[in-house]
């Protein structure tokens, strides 16, 4: 079991009633899908807010970052970078910047 | 002592020692009102005693999120449902069991039944049905755990467990005209839900820009009720569907009489929507969004004329509520206390409501962030708050 660090945007922290960085435990390969699955099990109010309930597609204005890389367009089943999978770096869920 | 909804007088009138006619003696006790305001950046709860003079303001609840609508249960007013949404994180439904002091998210999974297919896009091409948000929440008249949700893209959902799960009443979206429904400027939204107090199986809904529909079997099957509507922007102005209905109102004592603010035209039906006729009369503009009905006089109705669909501001920069005491056609401007120069706000479709106190209170909110109250049926107005985010919805609870 690996403890994965996750950082959520402010609105989702409020919704999940958490402050700061959180962790989820993953058993097996650490991917976007396994992290989000664990996140939604631990924090059911986040279901539907990061990815679609049914299709599990990432919501259009949500992006995923880790280790300085934008991973948003990666397959959800691609293993996350080793520093994330070992808990040294966080997996970032980011609300896209919009407006002007 | 828990709050109770002040009982409406249209049902069981009884004499009151003060000479008023109330449904029960309890109605003579000091009442209070709670105004639920949804805005572009959160929800606010405004409370006052029955004088409606001094107000407490709480909020923002769900700060930074669009709150399209909040509404309390008529049988348990401390049970309130709220629709919270953003383009970033989608739809959340919040529920309060203590009159809006605390909230808990309930289920936000709004899944269309089966394979939803397509409706018609702005350019006339087929477009997949996609859930975007809940525009309106309508709690049951009988059961606080039953609540209906009107969605964009247009569909009606129902929860029987206080919002913990939602099921689509798919007969509406699967109506044979559904593939021809087109969005209005605000989207293909189901924004009006009216439950008939005399018949639990009869529900009226309205969709921009498909029109109004009625079910008499609890939502299994639906009939378009748009006969008499004329929409010149359509290739066939009197078509069965395609009308941009902005809002519909019904007085609970007369469920067969409906009033409608269409895109253009204020309309009236005396046969539960089978036929409509125009009652715009002497309004300075018959474009607008809101329409509502006096709590005790079902022939007294209110609208807020807006200049045009291209400008969305009050005519002449004057914010005027118009009242008809004759069920339409003859209108009087209500201006006392409202800005009569340089006012360029809009009043959106769910942003007017009435209380049921003896002297009926009228409330509306603007895109400029003001919420106005009239404690005397519209004769005089004053702002409750002036600097909220743009107001999307206003609902009033009369408490005793």
Q: What pLDDT, on the 0 to 100 scale, is given for residue A97?
A: 79
Joined tokens for residue A74? 């990666």
Please report the residues numbered 105 through 144 in chain B whose beta carbons come closer than 8 angstroms to any beta carbon of chain A: 105, 108-109, 111
A63 is a domain residue = yes
pTM: 0.93
ipTM: 0.94
Dump pLDDT digits (tens) for B153-212.
999 999 999 999 999 999 999 999 999 999 998 999 999 999 999 999 999 999 999 999
* C-alpha distance from A89 to closest chain B C-alpha (Å): 24
On whether residue A33 sits in a domain, the answer given is yes
State the nearest Cα–Cα gap between A61 and chain B, in angstroms: 5
Q: Contact, B361 vs B374, CB < 8 A?
A: yes
**Tokens (6 digits) for B109:** 């999974």
**Using CB atoms within 10 A of its CB, is residue A99 exposed (0-12), middle (13-18) or buried (19+)?**
exposed
> Least CB-CB distance to A48: which of B65, B86, B91?
B91
In a domain, A91, yes or no: yes
Tell me what pLDDT residue B26 has.
36
- Asked whether residue A15 is domain-assigned, the answer is yes
Residues of B in contact with A50 (CB under 8 A): 89
On whether residue A100 sits in a domain, the answer given is no
The pLDDT tens digits of the residues spanning B239-296 come to: 999 999 999 999 999 999 999 999 999 999 999 999 999 999 999 999 999 999 999 9
Beta-carbon count within 10 A of B381 CB = 21
Residues 6+ apart with CB under 8 A from B176: none
What Cα–Cα distance (Å) separates residue B108 from each residue in A95, B60, B105, B111? 19, 21, 8, 9
Residue B371 has pLDDT above 50, yes or no: yes
* Count of structural domains, chain A: 1
pLDDT band (50, 70, 90) for residue B20: very low
Please indicate, yes or no, if residue A28 is contained in any of the structural domains.
yes
pLDDT in tens, A40-91: 999 999 999 999 999 999 999 999 999 999 999 999 999 999 999 999 999 9
In a domain, A57, yes or no: yes
CATH of the domain at A70: 3.10.20.30
In a domain, A84, yes or no: yes
B80-99, pLDDT tens digit by residue? Answer: 999 999 999 999 999 999 99
Residue A65: which domain range? 2-95
């Amino acid at each position: 079991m690996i403890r994965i660090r996750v950082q959520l945007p402010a609105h989702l922290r409020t919704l999940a009633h958490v402050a700061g960085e959180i962790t989820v435990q993953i058993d097996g390969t650490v991917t976007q899908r396994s992290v989000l699955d664990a996140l939604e099990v631990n924090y059911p109010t986040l279901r539907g807010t990061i990815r679609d309930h049914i299709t599990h597609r990432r919501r259009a204005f949500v992006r995923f970052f880790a280790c300085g890389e934008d991973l948003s367009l990666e397959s959800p089943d691609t293993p996350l970078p080793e520093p994330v999978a070992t808990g040294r770096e966080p997996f970032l869920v980011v609300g896209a910047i919009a407006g002007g | 002592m828990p709050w109770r909804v002040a009982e409406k007088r249209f049902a069981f009138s009884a004499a009151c020692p003060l000479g008023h006619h109330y449904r029960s003696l309890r109605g003579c006790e000091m009442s209070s009102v709670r105004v639920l305001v949804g805005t572009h950046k959160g929800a606010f709860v405004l409370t006052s005693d029955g004088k409606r003079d001094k107000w407490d303001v709480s909020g923002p609840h769900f700060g930074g999120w669009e709150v399209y609508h909040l509404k309390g249960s008529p049988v348990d007013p401390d049970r309130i449902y709220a629709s919270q949404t953003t383009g970033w994180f989608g739809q959340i439904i919040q529920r309060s069991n203590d009159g809006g002091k605390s909230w808990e998210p309930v289920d936000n999974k709004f899944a269309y039944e089966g394979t939803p297919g397509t409706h018609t896009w702005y350019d006339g091409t087929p477009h997949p049905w996609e859930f975007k948000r809940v525009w309106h929440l309508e709690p049951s008249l009988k059961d606080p755990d039953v609540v209906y949700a009107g969605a964009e893209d247009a569909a009606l959902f129902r929860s029987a467990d206080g919002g913990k799960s939602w099921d689509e009443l798919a007969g509406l979206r699967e109506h044979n005209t559904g593939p021809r429904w087109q969005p209005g400027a605000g989207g293909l939204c189901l924004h009006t839900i009216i439950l008939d107090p005399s018949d639990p199986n009869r529900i009226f809904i309205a969709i921009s820009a498909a029109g109004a529909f009625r079910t008499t079997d609890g939502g299994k099957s639906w009939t378009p009720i748009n006969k008499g509507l004329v929409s010149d922007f359509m290739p066939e102005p009197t078509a069965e569907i395609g009308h941009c209905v902005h809002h519909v109102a019904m007085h609970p004592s007369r469920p067969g009489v409906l009033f409608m603010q269409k895109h253009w035209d204020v309309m009236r039906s005396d046969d539960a929507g089978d036929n409509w006729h125009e009652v715009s009369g002497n309004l300075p503009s018959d474009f607008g969004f809101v329409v509502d009905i006096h709590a005790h006089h079902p022939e007294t109705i209110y609208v807020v004329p807006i200049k045009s669909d291209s400008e969305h501001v009050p005519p002449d920069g004057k914010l005027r509520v118009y009242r008809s005491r004759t069920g339409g056609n003859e209108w009087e401007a209500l201006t006392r206390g409202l800005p009569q120069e340089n006012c360029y706000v809009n009043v959106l479709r769910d942003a007017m409501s009435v209380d049921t106190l003896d002297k009926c209170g009228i409330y509306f909110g603007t895109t400029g962030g003001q919420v106005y109250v009239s404690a005397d049926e519209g004769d005089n107005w004053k702002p409750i708050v002036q600097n909220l985010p743009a107001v999307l919805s206003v609902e009033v609870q009369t408490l005793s």
